[in-house]
Amino acid sequence: MPDIRLQNVSKAFGGATVLDNIDIDVGDKEFVTLLGPSGCGKTTTLMAIAGFQHPDSGRIICGDRTFFDGGGRRTLPAEQRNLGIVFQSYAIWPHMTVAANIGFPLKLRRTKKPDVDRRVGEMLDLVELADLGAHYPHQLSGGQQQRVALARALVGSPSVLLLDEPFSNLDAKLRERSRKWLRALQQEIGMTTIFVTHDQDEALGMSDRVMVMNRGAIEQSGTPEDIYRRPANRAVAEFVGRCNVLDGRIVGPARCGSVLVEISETSLVVRAQCPPETADAGDVVIALRPELIQLSLGEASHANQCLADLRSSAFLGDHYEYELSLGGVLAQVQHSLPIPGETALVTVPDLAAIIVKP
């Protein structure tokens, strides 16, 4: 299965720039997720790959085939790109049975009827809907419809699978199950996949690589762990998961990829991870995940501890969410036990915080 590359792709609607010179490189068999808030350009990117949107400039190449070349003004029509797409609405044709839906791409390729039947049977087995071939779409549940859409996308042996928020119409439980199932299937058949979502749990839980998009640009590309643990900038830190983004000042020299940072308007001095290109001194911005901050009772005895006032708390089942005031700034903290009283001792473990670009 080929890789897919987008080079300098730009697109504007009216005066508004939707895609701003983006570069994307998806390797063979890789599962890449485009993650971002609505309006960030992720769906436009997917539709440009699919051929339903035409970029203003740039190139889109899949293996040795050029899908789009802004310089040469060449566009391969969508119907010749041989991609598999699962739409947000699934777009299962309501007037055809499940089997007819899945078999349609094959019929277009003039496959002989026995071959179509056999292959549709295989696909139905693959998506665990073997008994439902003769059903009509409206007789299926949301999860089943989604799998029909997937089977239809895969039946023609596409070079790349494109998924446009395929879980957004499912309820929470089903969504989780479908997610695991789809990821397992993708790994089994080794299909190059591009997945679009605004749901970070989906993005982090399924992908080989996540690309965070914002305002038509790619903010960061990396493994789910990279994205979560080492966000490149404030936008990524704030969009992926919950995060305290705080101002600070470097107060000691870098050592082993970390540096001492004093958090502004508090007495806290924490050892924060620092990316290689960080300067040796001056003001910085740090990101600190709420679940990495420890709460306890007692007195501050280290520089990375301070007493904090409890401002609000919310019980969310497996944990509490607290808002604490650390001197002049507010911080979100996640803790699994209730805190008695009005104050708590905050401890920021070494390397819990990371310096990000503002």
Binding pattern to other proteins, positions 141-160, x when CB under 8 A?
--------x--xxx-xx---
Q: Please identify, using beta-carbon distances, which residue of 14 and 114 lies nearer to other proteins.
A: 114
Q: Which stretch binds other proteins (CB under 8 A): 9-17, 22-30, 111-119, 329-337?
A: 111-119
- 183: tokens are 């990821």
In the complex, what is the shortest distance from the CB of residue 93 to other proteins, in angstroms, rounded to a whole number?
A: 6
Chain centroid to Cα 77, Å, comes to: 28
Q: Are strands 193-197 and 31-35 parallel, antiparallel or unpaired?
A: parallel
Query: Which residue in the set 13, 23, 74, 89 belongs to the binding site for other proteins (CB under 8 A)?
Result: 89
Which position among 12, 20, 104, 169 is part of the footprint of other proteins (CB under 8 A)? Answer: 104
Q: Which is nearer to other proteins, 105 or 133 (CB)?
A: 105
13 lies in the site for other proteins, by CB under 8 A:
no
Q: Shortest distance, CB of residue 335 to other proteins, whole angstroms?
A: 41
What span, in angstroms and rounded, lies between the C-alpha atoms of 23 and 20? 9
Phi, psi of 179 (to 5 degrees): -60, -50
The verdict on 109 binding other proteins (CB under 8 A) reads yes
Binding mask 162-191 for other proteins (x = CB under 8 A): x----------------------x--xx--
Binding part of the chain for other proteins, among 88-96, 308-316, 329-337, 349-357 by CB under 8 A, reads: 88-96
Give the amino acid at 2: P
Residue 106 binding other proteins, by CB under 8 A: yes
Q: Which long-range contacts does 143-147 make (Cβ < 8 Å, 24+ apart)?
A: 143/170, 143/174, 143/177, 143/178, 145/90, 145/92, 146/86, 146/90, 146/170, 146/178
- Smallest distance, other proteins to C-beta of residue 149, A: 8
Q: Which is nearer to other proteins, 85 or 348 (CB)?
A: 85
Q: How far is the CB of 315 from other proteins (least distance, A)?
A: 33
Residue type, 218: I
How far apart are CB 106 and other proteins at their closest, in Å? Answer: 6
Q: Which of 28, 115, 171, 283 binds other proteins (CB under 8 A)?
A: 115
Among 56, 74, 93, 279, binds other proteins (CB under 8 A): 93
Q: Which of 6, 110, 108 is nearest to 50 (CA)?
A: 6
Please select the residue that binds other proteins; options are 12, 61, 126, 345, rule is CB under 8 A: 126
Q: Which of 41, 55, 70, 105 binds other proteins (CB under 8 A)?
A: 105
Instruction: Identify any residues that bridge with 335 across adjacent strands, giving them in sequence order.
Output: 320
Contact footprint for other proteins (CB under 8 A): 50-52, 77-85, 87-89, 91-96, 104-106, 108-111, 115, 118-119, 122, 126, 136, 149, 152-154, 156-157, 162, 185, 188-189
